[in-house]
């Protein structure tokens, strides 16, 4: 019997009083105990979901839910394309984003010594909705590039962003052009660099899709933003909507008399 399967048996139901707990809670506690015992040190990778499911005799969905619970508590870090790792000791670092400056996600991460990533989730050229066309000062018949990306820092998922860009203004663009790059730098290079923006924030809860992408539990707190940016000529150049992890992001504003 493996360490994990024996510990899971020991943790259920009478010994740990978890008889009424969901299975994923029991699995989360088993993994947490293994981390506490030092079987996995900070920075170590956990076994893959498939392997854990076999060892523990549960489904991969149950393992995924358990890992999401540990991620919300800051015990593990999910790095897309790499796996799940035990978080560094100490509380997770929170990203402070000043609302008084117009900076891109990439610039924010680089200023903190972190490597920024932008995995493309979808890329299309399509007609905007009437509502979005009005915001971008376009006719409904004009095309926009709709770019949806998972934004990461140091391999950890922090945000899901969707940007609408004026296709006629930018010229030919492909998904490869927006992979792991700053959209603001791309806009600048094509003569449409933003100089001013209006941003709105609100609190929302993660749905199934966002929870899976960001490595958090369904219902976890997220910060939803909408940003409209203009160039030096006063023309809208980007309409962006994003969801940031509430456990990792703070938006900061300086107020003066």
Report the CATH number that the domain containing residue 110 is assigned in CATH: 3.40.1410.10
DSSP for 110-167, written as a single string? HHTT--EEEEEEEEEEEPPPHHHHHHTT--TTS-EEEEEEEEEETTEEEEEEEEEEEH
Residues 61 and 125 in one domain: no
Q: What is the pLDDT along the chain (257 residues), one digit of tens a residue?
A: 344 444 444 343 334 445 567 888 889 889 988 888 888 888 888 998 899 999 888 998 899 888 887 877 778 877 766 788 887 765 556 677 667 677 778 777 776 667 778 889 999 999 999 999 999 999 988 999 999 999 888 777 889 999 999 999 899 999 999 988 889 889 999 999 999 999 999 999 999 999 888 888 888 899 999 999 999 999 999 999 999 998 888 777 767 77
- Residue ending a domain, among 66, 86, 106, is 86
- Residue 119 in contact with residue 136, Cβ under 8 Å? no
Q: Looking at the structure, do residues 236 and 127 belong to the same domain, yes or no?
A: yes
107-112, Cβ contacts within 8 angstroms, sequence gap of 24 or more:
107/182, 107/184, 109/153, 112/153
Residues 36 and 70 both lie in one domain: yes
Single pTM value for the model: 0.67
Whether 134 and 78 share a structural domain: no
- Measured CA to CA, the distance from residue 181 to residue 227 in angstroms comes to 18
């Amino acid at each position: 019997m493996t360490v994990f399967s024996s510990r899971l048996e020991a943790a259920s139901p009478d010994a740990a009083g978890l008889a009424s707990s969901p299975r994923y809670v029991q699995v989360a506690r088993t993994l947490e105990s293994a981390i506490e015992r030092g079987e996995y040190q900070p920075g170590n990778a956990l076994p893959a979901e498939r392997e854990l499911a076999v060892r523990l005799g549960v489904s991969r969905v149950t393992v995924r839910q358990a890992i999401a619970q540990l991620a919300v508590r800051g015990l593990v870090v999910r790095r897309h394309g790499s796996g799940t790792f035990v978080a560094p000791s100490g509380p997770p670092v929170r990203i402070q984003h000043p609302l008084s400056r117009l900076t891109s996600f990439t610039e924010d991460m680089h200023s903190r010594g972190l490597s920024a990533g932008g995995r493309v989730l979808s890329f299309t050229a399509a007609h905007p909705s009437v509502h979005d066309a009005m915001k971008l000062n376009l006719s409904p018949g004009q095309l926009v590039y709709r770019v949806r990306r998972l934004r990461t820092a140091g391999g950890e998922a922090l945000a899901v962003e969707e940007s609408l860009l004026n296709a006629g203004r930018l010229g030919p663009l492909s998904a490869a052009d927006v992979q792991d790059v700053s959209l603001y730098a791309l806009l600048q290079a094509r003569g449409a660099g933003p100089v001013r923006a209006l941003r709105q924030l609100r609190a929302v809860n993660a749905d199934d899709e966002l929870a899976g992408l960001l490595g958090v539990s369904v219902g976890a707190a997220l910060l939803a933003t909408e940003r409209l940016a203009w160039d030096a000529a006063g023309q809208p150049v980007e309409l962006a909507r994003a969801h940031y992890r509430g456990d990792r992001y703070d938006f900061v504003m300086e107020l003066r008399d």
